[in-house]
Amino acid sequence: MSTPLTYKNAGVDIELGNELVDNYKDIVSSTFNPAVLNPLGGFCSLYDLSHYNLKQPVLVSSTDGVGTKLRLALQWNNHKGVGIDLVAMCVNDLLVTGAKPLFFLDYYASGKLDKTITLEVVQSIATGCKIAGMALVGGETAEMPGMYHNKDYDLAGFCVGAVEKSEIVNGSDITVGDTLIAIASSGVHSNGYSLVRKILESKPALEDDNLDGRSIKDILLTPTKIYSQCMQALHQAKLLKGAAHITGGGITENVPRFIPKTFAAKINTGSWDLPPVFDWIKTHAQLSLDDLRITYNCGVGMVVCVAKENAQQALTLLAQHHENAWIIGEMVENTQGAQVIYTHE
Decide if 183 contacts 245 (C-beta within 8 A): no
Asked if pLDDT for residue 178 goes beyond 90, the answer is yes
- Provide the pLDDT for residue 28: 87
Residue 32's nearest CA partner among 109, 126, 139, 114 is: 126
pLDDT of residue 25: 80
User: pLDDT by residue (tens digit) across 216-250?
Assistant: 999 999 999 999 999 999 999 999 999 999 999 99
User: Does 156 share its domain with 183?
Assistant: no
Residues 232 and 310 in one domain: yes
Note whether 124 and 195 are same-domain residues: no
318-329 average pLDDT score = 98
Band of pLDDT at residue 9, cut at 50, 70 and 90: low
- Note the pLDDT tens digit of each residue in 254-301: 999 999 999 999 999 999 999 999 999 999 999 999 999 999 999 999
**According to the model, what pLDDT value does residue 10 have?**
56
Neighbouring residues of 302: CB distance < 8 A, sequence distance ≥ 6: 92, 96, 182, 183, 227, 231, 243, 244, 245, 246
CATH number of the domain encompassing residue 19: 3.30.1330.10
pLDDT of residue 11: 54
Q: Give percent of the chain with pLDDT exceeding 70.
A: 93
pLDDT of residue 18: 45
**Mean pLDDT in residue range 85-92:** 98
| Residue 16 contacts residue 85 (beta carbons within 8 Å) | no
At residue 78, the pLDDT reads 95
Q: With 70 as the cut, is the pLDDT of residue 31 above it? A: yes
Phi, psi of 57 (to 5 degrees): -70, 135
Residue 304: pLDDT over 50: yes
> Taking residues 11-36, what's their average pLDDT?
69
> Which of 108, 140, 167 is a domain's end point?
167
Q: Please check whether residue 268 lies inside any domain of the structure.
A: yes
Q: What is the pLDDT of residue 271?
A: 98
Same structural domain for residues 159 and 249? no
Same domain (yes/no): 300, 185: yes
Q: 222's torsion region: left (phi>0), alpha (psi -120 to 50) or beta?
A: beta
Residues 114 and 18 both lie in one domain: yes
Asked if residue 232 and residue 158 are part of one domain, the reply reads: no
As for how many domains the chain has, the answer is 2
Last residue of a domain, one of 139, 167, 195: 167
Q: Is residue 172 domain-resident?
A: no
Q: Is 43 exposed, middle or buried (0-12, 13-18, 19+ CB in 10 A)?
A: exposed
Q: Is residue 68 part of a domain?
A: yes
Question: Distances in Å between the alpha carbon of 226 and those of 90, 91, 201, 284, 287?
Answer: 10, 7, 30, 28, 28
Q: Assess contact for 247 and 296: CB atoms under 8 A.
A: no
- Is 89 a member of any domain? yes
Whether residue 84 is found in the same domain as residue 116:
yes
The full DSSP string for 232-247 is: HHHHHTT--SEEEE--
Are 138 and 266 in a shared domain? no
The CATH number of whichever domain residue 210 belongs to comes to: 3.90.650.10
Bridge partners of 57, per DSSP, are 164
Task: Describe the strand order of the beta sheet including 100-110 as a list of residue ranges.
Answer: 57-65, 153-164, 100-110, 135-143
**pLDDT confidence bin for 8, thresholds 50/70/90:** low
Give buried/exposed letters for 118-150 (b at 16+ CB in 10 A, else e). Answer: bbbbbbbbbbbbbbbbbbbbbbeeeeeeeebee
Instruction: Report the C-alpha gap between 161 and 94 in whole angstroms.
Output: 7
Q: What is d(CA 249, CA 301) in angstroms, rounded to the nearest whole number?
A: 12
Residue 49 lies in a domain: yes
pLDDT at position 7? 54
Instruction: Give the H or E element holding residue 26.
Output: helix 24-29
Say yes or no: 99 and 208 in one domain: no
Which residues form the domain of 10?
A: 5-167
CB 98 within 8 A of CB 235: yes
The answer on 161 and 185 residing in a single domain is no
The pLDDT mean for the chain works out to 92
Which pLDDT band holds residue 6 (cuts at 50, 70, 90)?
Answer: low
State the pLDDT at residue 261.
94
Choose among 254, 239, 286, 267: nearest CA to 189.
254
Task: Report pLDDT for 81.
Answer: 95
